Amino acid sequence: MSPRSRYLSATSMSLRTLMCLTLCIATVIGCGDTSVTKSPHLEARLLVDQDSVSPGSTFSLAVQFTLEPGWHIYWKNPGDSGLAPQFTWQAPPDVVIHEPLWPYPDRLTTGPLVNYGYGSIVIPFQADLRAASRASKLPINLDLRWLVCKEECLPGEASLSVTLPVTTSSGSPSRYAHVFDSAFNSIPRPLDKVSIAVEEQDERIILAIIPLEGRPLPSAVTFFPEESKIISNSAPQISSKDGDILKISLLRDPGRSLPVDRVRGVLVSDSGWSPSGQPRAVLLDTAPGEAAALPQTPPQNSLISLSSPSADIGLQAAILFAFLGGLILNLMPCVFPVLSIKVLSFIDGARADARSSRIHGLSFSAGIVSSFWALALLLASLRAGGEQLGWGFQLQSPLFVVLMIFVFFTIGVLFLTEITVGQTVQNLAGRSKLPTGYIGSFLSGALATAVATPCTAPFMGSALAATISLPPLSSLAVFTSLGLGMSAPYLLLSYNPSLLRFLPRPGEWMVTFKQLMAFPLFASVIWLTRVFARQMGMEPPGLTILIDVLWGLCVITLGFWLVLRARQARASLRTPLILAACITWALALYIAIPTAVEIEESRSRACSSEDGVAPFRDSYGLLWESYSEDRVLRLLAQGRPVYLDFTAEWCITCQVNERVVFGSASVRERLASKNVTLVRADWTSKNPAITRALQSYGRNGVPLNVIRVGPSNPPIILPNILTPGIVIDALEKLPG
């Protein structure tokens, strides 16, 4: 090889070596940087605001998204479509990384859709290093996912990491500190020194911001909801000033039928929220129970309600409605099981002096109010532990139901006999100087509360719904008002003995009356047996046949009692009593013997619906489906009208409603003509799904009857006590 050739070859090798070294250096500098990733249309970089941190200090992390013009990523609520970025951190145990601090977004319109998102943006995170940390460095890793869109959308993902030294001295700002300053200026600030109200009017949601301490508010704002399915994203937003009050009118999401009890989001104003123009964005949150009344606007509810009042009421109204509900509770069928105990106690009280009568009334009232307090405290403590409970929850316990069966049956037997069990108690009371009769009055009040509470009287529904969001002391005040309302008639009688003169004079008739009052207690035993059987898994119509047999036995017993009384009565009453006994025996056979149709239906009830839940026919021939939220949503999506019956075996008002309404041929005919699907939500046993559904309608107890049609139409809530006319009028509002 010539010298020239050797020179050229050596030069070529030197150049190749230099190029390789250059590539290696470039690889080390650029390709080895794990804090940045590049993908089509987007670059993401993991930033730290300090070069080092010390134990016990706070520092900031951030993800910087750099996008090509026209491309965007999404906010935490992406709007009508899209997907928010997802951040998954891995860091040493001594490091706590908080939730992202989302900058306020922009409205992104694509055809009929409106989304919420960003172009290039920095999303920061606050982080803490525990004071007890002994680490020398902090390796922090982030698994990142995103969706970047323009006319098309491309998903992407990457793993980014940084290592942060730990020193004893406070760290100095990193070269990205200015990026954090700019990012924090875009984070919405809390909105203070204002009162916030939210209200639904027809298809709109009205937000009102009332300034305190003369704070000026902007007149034009844009609202970005934190949660989806609250407002129609594409509908125009109307903001205006009414004096110093800022009002924002928003169109409800057309797919939402449930009421909006909380609104959270961001309010953005181009002119800012202070004279300096900063901040441009503020946080808005109307938590349940914290919203003030909307000023100068008549309250309306998005629900078409045939009953009043609204579930969203203040504390004073809740206390008033609770008192009225407790007063009316004395007239409800639920109280009938203990009616005999109350009537007998007041007949006995008629023979006592005025002072004794007053103490009996106070003792009875104390038993009622104390029991309501116990229920309130138990309900609050269980809810604090995460239990889904509602009014009448004690009868969802099979153990409680069995105990009540024994109590009522025992009292009924004692009423029929001359057996007395009070002598021992009387002796103990004499030694301890306790008046036995007063203790009995107190326990009678407690028993009345235990079996009366499962029913929801008019006005009680709204009062009890308010306790869901009220503070504990306020809820206790509502329950106290319930107890005072229920006990008020008895206090009135005890403090006005002159009213007792309308009671008949004591005599032999009282023995007859006491024995007669045993049969309502036996009827209560049958009712509670049905509740217990449902809790143990028995279903109609087989259960209905069994309960009819028990009713027959009760009526037969009544017939024999009538014969016994006929033998002891004067001659003129014997024949009518014997005739009445024969009629009761015939009635018992009519009640207890099942028909061929009932037997056949009981045997053939093995068919299943498309959801795998067996439908069933009630005693009026109506076909029902068991409650399922998914099933109801599918029916509504198909445009089919749905009748929701929230009921329970232990709610006598529910049973009366069913007999009155579904026993009406006119109602059954109208249900068929409107092609209404019947869905029964049986709350006899604890069911969290049904409890949540009740609360979504502003209730926490049964009965509740709701008619719904279509996914966007508001539900029609019926009153607690129904008549055929009420239901027919509601059905007439349905299309078709």
Residues above pLDDT 90, as percent of the chain: 20
Lowest mean per-residue pLDDT among 90-94, 263-267, 331-335, 448-452: 331-335
Q: Which top CATH class is 3-185?
A: mainly beta
Which token pair is 221?
Answer: 């704002």
Q: Which pLDDT score, from 0 to 100, does residue 91 have?
A: 93
Mean pLDDT of 564-569: 79
pLDDT exceeds cutoff 80 at 114: yes
pLDDT over 60 (residue 309): no
pLDDT value for 621? 82
User: In the predicted model, is pLDDT for residue 151 greater than 90?
Assistant: no
Neighbours of 29 (CB within 10 A): 9
**Reported confidence tier of residue 29, pLDDT bands at 50, 70, 90:** very low
Q: Report how far apart, in Å, the C-alpha atoms of 188 and of each of 226, 374, 422 are.
A: 12, 44, 71
Q: Which CATH class is domain 616-732?
A: alpha beta
What is the rounded average pLDDT for all residues in the chain?
A: 75
Whether pLDDT at 526 is above 50? yes
Look up residue 466 and give its two tokens: 């308010």
Give the model's pLDDT for residue 676. Answer: 92
Q: Which tokens is 47 given?
A: 């930033």
Mean of the pLDDT values across residues 599-611? Answer: 49
Q: Is the pLDDT of residue 434 over 50?
A: no
Q: Which residues contact 221 (CB under 8 A, 6 or more apart)?
A: 239, 246, 248, 267, 268, 269
Range with top average pLDDT, 299-313, 358-372, 597-611, 626-640: 626-640
Model confidence band, residue 73 (pLDDT cutoffs 50, 70, 90): very high
Average pLDDT estimate for 356-360: 73
**Does residue 683 contact residue 702 with C-beta atoms inside 8 Å?**
yes
Peptide bond into 3 cis (omega under 30): no
Determine which helix (DSSP H) or strand (DSSP E) holds 12, and give its type and residue range: helix 3-26
* Fold observed for domain 189-306: Immunoglobulin-like (2.60.40)
Calculate the CA 669 to chain-centre distance: 33
Query: Integer distance in angstroms from the first to the last C-alpha of the chain?
Result: 103
pLDDT at 298: 30
Which amino acid type is present at position 638?
Answer: Q
**pLDDT higher than 50, residue 337:** no
Q: Does residue 598 have a pLDDT over 70? A: no
Predicted confidence (pLDDT) at residue 127 exceeds the cutoff of 90? yes
Rounded CA separation 642/577 (Å)? 49
Q: What is the pLDDT of residues 497-515, one digit of tens each?
A: 666 566 555 566 667 776 7
Does the global pTM surpass 0.75?
Answer: no
Spatial CA neighbour of 279 closest among 180, 179, 178, 192: 192
Instruction: Of 399-403, 451-455, 558-562, give the lowest mean pLDDT range.
Output: 451-455
- Ranked by mean pLDDT, the top range of 200-209, 244-253, 319-328 is 244-253
Q: What's the confidence (pLDDT) of residue 611?
A: 44
Tell me: pLDDT of 644 over 90. Answer: yes
User: According to the model, what pLDDT value does residue 277 have?
Assistant: 82
